[in-house]
Amino acid sequence: MLAYVPMALGKAEVLRFRDALAGAPWEDGAPSGGASKTAKRNSQVPPDSELARKLGAAVGSALLASPAFVAAAIPLRIFPPLFERHEVGDRYDPHVDNAVRGDAMTGARIRVDLAATLLLSEPEEYDGGHLVVEDMFGSREFKPRAGDAVLFSAGSLNMLTPITRGERISSFVWVQSMIQSDEARDMICDLDTAIQDLSARIDGDDPDMRKLTTVYHNLIRIWGEA
């Protein structure tokens, strides 16, 4: 699973987030790296702070309002998003994300199926800082626009190349999907995307569209959890 989600946040929302984070306290981000914390060099807003929780709720709402994100992730639970800053020299070496995450504040635990990086900095604001994800098609590199997100399987090897100029501000999200299997989720995503594309050209009461929609929901019944 690897999906690019454009405009998960609008430009006005990005500016609002940046203003809110301008005076935020930052701490060492390594502890949130779990088993891969030694590979991680960055800073983050304290995850349990009021600011992180407030902005995190807004990120979660924005992602759930994005048809592209919902089609690709089929989300069941979203872990409280992190807010990260990478400055010159910061990086995240190759790693695989933890399979399970627990929230210290609520005690809630999720199985981590997917990870998403939502950018709050424009690519021209910094050099380096490329997100690199290895999937079945090889190594793929991303440097998204502010407001765009990259969604990928949490079981994929991924890294962030060192920052050599400026700073990169982002939100990082872990997701438990209704569909645990990457292969099944990819097929349902393709079907959902096709239905969305066809619905713009075909009458919603078309009998073949009804058949496709029925297949979509029945596949989620077979493979999904809620």
Q: For residue 149, with 0-12 CB atoms within 10 Å meaning exposed, 13-18 middle and 19 or more buried, which class applies?
A: buried
**Helix (H) or strand (E) segment spanning residue 40:** strand 40-41
Domain harbouring 103, CATH code: 2.60.120.620
By residue range, what is the domain housing residue 216? Answer: 182-223
Residues annotated within a binding site for 2-oxoglutarate: 168
Q: Same domain, yes or no, for 126 and 186?
A: no
Q: Same domain, yes or no, for 167 and 194?
A: no
Cα-Cα-Cα-Cα dihedral of 190, 195, 197, 198, to 10°?
140
Distance between CA atoms of 1 and 72, rounded to whole angstroms?
Answer: 8
136-177: per-residue pLDDT in tens? Answer: 778 999 999 999 999 999 999 999 999 999 999 999 999 999
Residues annotated within a binding site: 168
Q: Where is the domain boundary, 162, 177, 192? A: 177
Over residues 122-146, the mean pLDDT reads 94
Q: Same domain, yes or no, for 92 and 158?
A: yes
Q: What percentage of the chain has pLDDT greater than the value 70?
A: 97
Distance between CA atoms of 62 and 67, rounded to whole angstroms?
Answer: 10
What is the band of 205 on the pLDDT scale with cuts at 50, 70, 90? confident
66-100: per-residue pLDDT in tens? Answer: 999 999 999 999 999 999 999 999 999 999 999 99
Helix axes 11-22, 50-64, angle to 10 degrees: 170
pTM for the structure as a whole: 0.91
Q: Same domain, yes or no, for 68 and 27?
A: yes
Domain count, the chain: 2
φ/ψ (deg, to 5) at 176: -100, 125
Q: What percentage of the chain has pLDDT greater than the value 90?
A: 83
2-6, 106-110, 147-151, 202-206: segment of lowest average pLDDT:
202-206
Distance between CA atoms of 32 and 84, rounded to whole angstroms?
Answer: 10
What is the band of 36 on the pLDDT scale with cuts at 50, 70, 90? low
Q: Same domain, yes or no, for 203 and 127?
A: no
Which residues, in sequence order, are CB contacts of 104 under 8 Å at separation 6+?
47, 48
Q: Same domain, yes or no, for 85 and 9?
A: yes
